[in-house]
Chain A
């Protein structure tokens, strides 16, 4: 199958998935107990039925469910994600404001975990059976079992409270009025703790995966041949083993996007990071459904795009695959 045909087929499938996610979330949220209009009215201090009815009409909540769904889907197609119940701002604006912070955080955490994890995995496999191997694998085992939010708190306890090296929350120093490089440095300084916290769990996975994958490939005949020819060990690992061992790592990395979003909800909450993970959680707690739906739509689109790119890249990384499916 040609790459173009493959891409078109995958693209239409991806679009279907996104629509499915939107419909599922829409139904889930609207069928759930708890009426956002009465929550809002209650907070405004006015619980009388007339005011609630007025709010329901204003948000279109008095329409039948399928009409609401249809209106919403039509809006989505024109880029209109509705208005936040809470602060009368278009949902799209809210999300676009918050998206860069999350992309920065998850992107850094992804690169951090991938690079460090592969490096440690190679090191452990190369020095198999040594003290270094045991130390690396024990560390990986521990971080694989540690809750992310707890690492976050412990990191704050040690590096912010006791040592006072790194800022414990926010994305930049509020009111410092920094610009240009000074601001970038300030953000980088604030980025360290959230990135490491979010990344360590995945680092542990990449370390274990890399080591296992390398050791498996090392047993194959072509590696034995290379060794028998007298190719140096470091070169065997670099040129022969890694190229094959990278495939399962690649597969896992391509599925990581969704997990990172989940981790971002926790990390952003602990570090008061102004991203969409926290936006989602706040929206959920305040029953601000248009915002919640919007965040889910955007994350579904991002996850689907990442999967798509990964599928295409896989054909580059492993030329043996001529898209079987």
Chain B
């Protein structure tokens, strides 16, 4: 069965895909949908949702449009989520592949290093990294990548370790292919599906981490983000519930969509495991 059909048998995954496509569209079209900057006061302050038809989700204490904030916030969330995961995957695959393929002392050393990173509370570490190197989109992305690669390294190491002893790899060694070439052209393609599934779930976690950072005031001051909107709404909880409710729903839906897609990918890529999770 073609890959997409297998994926589409999972209704949850399809729903997730639909939500994610919508979020991506809104993020891409934000400047067209909302030509004014999301930081600009456009209406009266504290307009409740549907009080003024031009601001269906209401405005905040400075009269900024909540809907515009959501659209521009989607850009930050998706960007940080995808880029930080890509960086983490590159680090994790490199270290895990070296450890699993060469084994011995290299394996020992790299795995101790990985375990060491896993001992440090990830979120606390991300907070410190971002605060020390001053919060901007680059430091946030890198900080999230630095705290999230260890699981990838462990996964890739285990895959490489088991694939290394397979016949096709032995054959490649016998014909004299070099280590890096075997790792890249023989083993990695065979280990790619669990990496993709893990990476998709990591994007969701990265989005949650980014929103937590900007909620604490450690976001990029030049970019509107969902976490920042919720943080700003904290003191207005009593007066303006919509300021914190809508950005939270946006995070929830996006993360949920990505998780659903990740599970769908998992089912589609490992058909023999289907049904194991229910």
Residues of A within 8 A of B (CB): 17, 20-21, 24-25, 28-29, 32-34, 128-129, 133, 137, 141-142, 144-150, 153-154, 156-157, 161, 211-212, 215-216, 219, 255, 258-259, 261-263, 265-266, 269-270, 277, 280-281, 284-285, 292, 296, 299-300, 303-304, 307
Residues of B within 8 A of A281 (CB): 127, 216
The residues in B between 242 and 278 inclusive whose CB is less than 8 angstroms from any CB of A are 244-245, 248, 251-252, 255-256, 259-260, 276-278
Number of A-B residue pairs having CB atoms within 8 Å of each other in the complex: 134
* Cα distance A258–B118 in the bound complex, in angstroms: 8
Contact B278 A265 (CB under 8 A): no
Instruction: Please report whether the interface of chain B is mostly helix, strand, loop or mixed according to DSSP.
Output: helix
Interface membership of B55, Cβ < 8 A: no
Contact A266 B212 (CB under 8 A): yes
Interface hit among B41-49, B84-92, B183-191, B230-238:
B230-238
Residues of B within 8 A of A24 (CB): 120
Contact A20 B248 (CB under 8 A): no
* Cα distance A262–B233 in the bound complex, in angstroms: 22
How far apart are B149's CB and chain A's nearest CB, in angstroms? 15
Residues of A within 8 A of B116 (CB): 17, 20-21
Pick the contact of A144: B115, B132, B259 (CB < 8 A). B259
Are A284 and B230 also in contact (CB < 8 A) when A145-B252, A266-B216 are?
Answer: no
Q: Bin chain B's interface residue count.
A: 35 or more
Residues of A within 8 A of B134 (CB): 33-34
Contact B238 A161 (CB under 8 A): yes
Pick the contact of A142: B208, B241, B252 (CB < 8 A). B252
Contact A215 B277 (CB under 8 A): yes
Instruction: Please report whether the interface of chain A is mostly helix, strand, loop or mixed according to DSSP.
Output: helix
Contact A28 B132 (CB under 8 A): yes
Residues of B within 8 A of A128 (CB): 278
How far apart are A230's CB and chain B's nearest CB, in angstroms? 26
* Cα distance A240–B66 in the bound complex, in angstroms: 54
Interface membership of B215, Cβ < 8 A: yes
Residues of B within 8 A of A (CB): 115-116, 118-124, 127-129, 131-134, 204, 208, 211-212, 215-216, 227, 230, 233-234, 237-238, 241, 244-245, 248, 251-252, 255-256, 259-260, 276-278
Closest residue on chain B to residue A208 by CB atoms: B277
* Cα distance A307–B120 in the bound complex, in angstroms: 12
Are A265 and B123 also in contact (CB < 8 A) when A17-B116, A157-B237, A285-B131 are?
Answer: yes
The 8 A-B pairs at the shortest CB distance, nearest first, are namely A262-B123, A150-B248, A145-B256, A145-B255, A32-B132, A258-B121, A261-B121, A262-B121
Closest residue on chain B to residue A303 by CB atoms: B119
Seed contacts A137-B278, A150-B251; 17 additional CB < 8 Å A-B pairs = A17-B115, A20-B116, A32-B133, A142-B256, A145-B256, A145-B259, A147-B208, A147-B227, A148-B212, A153-B248, A216-B276, A258-B122, A262-B122, A265-B123, A265-B216, A296-B128, A299-B124
Residues of A within 8 A of B129 (CB): 28
* Cα distance A277–B237 in the bound complex, in angstroms: 23
Closest residue on chain B to residue A280 by CB atoms: B124
Closest residue on chain B to residue A269 by CB atoms: B216
* Cα distance A292–B222 in the bound complex, in angstroms: 28
Are A259 and B215 also in contact (CB < 8 A) when A33-B134, A157-B237, A161-B237 are?
Answer: no
Residues of B within 8 A of A141 (CB): 256, 259-260
Contact B124 A29 (CB under 8 A): no
How far apart are A146's CB and chain B's nearest CB, in angstroms? 5
Are A149 and B230 also in contact (CB < 8 A) when A266-B215, A269-B216, A300-B119 are?
Answer: yes
Chain A to chain B contacts (Cβ below 8 Å), 11 pairs: A21-B119, A33-B132, A145-B255, A147-B227, A157-B244, A215-B276, A255-B118, A258-B118, A258-B121, A280-B127, A303-B121
* Cα distance A147–B118 in the bound complex, in angstroms: 21
How far apart are A291's CB and chain B's nearest CB, in angstroms? 12
Contact A307 B127 (CB under 8 A): no
Residues of B within 8 A of A137 (CB): 278
* Cα distance A30–B277 in the bound complex, in angstroms: 48
Contact A258 B119 (CB under 8 A): yes
* Cα distance A18–B115 in the bound complex, in angstroms: 12
How far apart are B227's CB and chain A's nearest CB, in angstroms? 7
How far apart are B252's CB and chain A's nearest CB, in angstroms? 5
Pick the contact of B128: A146, A147, A154, A292 (CB < 8 A). A292
Pick the contact of A157: B120, B241, B251, B252 (CB < 8 A). B241
